[in-house]
Amino acid sequence: MTAQEAYQFLDQSMSDIYDAREASTIARYLVEDLLQMQFWSEDVLNPEQQVLVSKAAQRLKNHEPWQYIGGLADFYGFKFKVNPSVLIPRPETEELVYMALDLINNAGVTSVLDIGTGSGIIPVTLGLKSKVTTIYGLDVSRDALKTAEENAKWHKTDIPWIHQDFLDDQIWHTLPQVDLVISNPPYITTSEADVMHPNVLQHEPHLALFVNQDAMEFYIAIAKMVMAHQKDGCKVITEINENFGIQVCQVFTEAGLKHVKLFQDLQGKDRIVIGEK
């Protein structure tokens, strides 16, 4: 089996799961990420690589995300290591980072705290694309932070990691004071699970996807922490559930944040809210 034949085999194995265009794209990425070969190559796979391809096809049929199978995901032009302990990066979060970089460049931001950092894609990307001197990443999951640390080392970025449950307000006073707080927190309600794709619902970490009960719990906590423990002028930027844009704005405003604004993503859906202490 050549790399090109592996690509064709993987493509065909997804015919009843994805449409033709998506299956072709996934097959290409898998050959490149899993085998470290060009998908059009006529190079022959060794026995171990052929086993990897066979196992990958079966995992795809079980609706496992291809990024977990290949171990890599693309985000903002970079490759990041991913596994079932972390969410797979979404295009919407690239828009969050784009807006954050705009804030950083125009507001003299020199320090950032990322709440719910997961695989570390946000702080690592900000470290690579800006001149921010200090960026922290916080998460409740030790496994997620282990992945984040691997990504930081891979991309040669120096990021202090904080293992804390952010919803525990007793630890807020221990957090660093920064110029910008950024977060893509859990924001999916359990009532939305019925319409989610199996490859997300069955394989991605529920801890990073779902809120416990209140869809606003993380936004309430972020706003309260910023107002109580961050310095005046600290900016906040968060990704949100498209169904709760107005509510998040209300939470931020009622907490005392100023200049609260709601922004839509490229699909026209409410996606980002910013504010300032």
Cα 185 from Cα 266, distance rounded (Å)? 20
CB neighbour list of residue 67: distance below 8 Å, 6 or more residues apart? 73, 82, 88
Mean pLDDT confidence for 134-145: 96
In sign, the C-alpha dihedral spanning 172, 175, 181, 184 is negative
193 band by pLDDT with thresholds 50, 70 and 90: very low
In terms of CATH, what superfamily is 84-276? Vaccinia Virus protein VP39 (3.40.50.150)
pLDDT for 197: 54
Q: How far is CA 30 from CA 66, 80, 114, 201, in A?
A: 7, 14, 30, 21
pLDDT for 212: 61
pLDDT for 62: 85
Q: Indicate whether this model's pTM tops 0.85.
A: yes
* Domain layout of the chain by residue ranges: 3-62, 84-276
Q: b/e for 105-128, b at 16 or more Cβ within 10 A?
A: eeeebebbbbbbbbbbbbbbbbbe
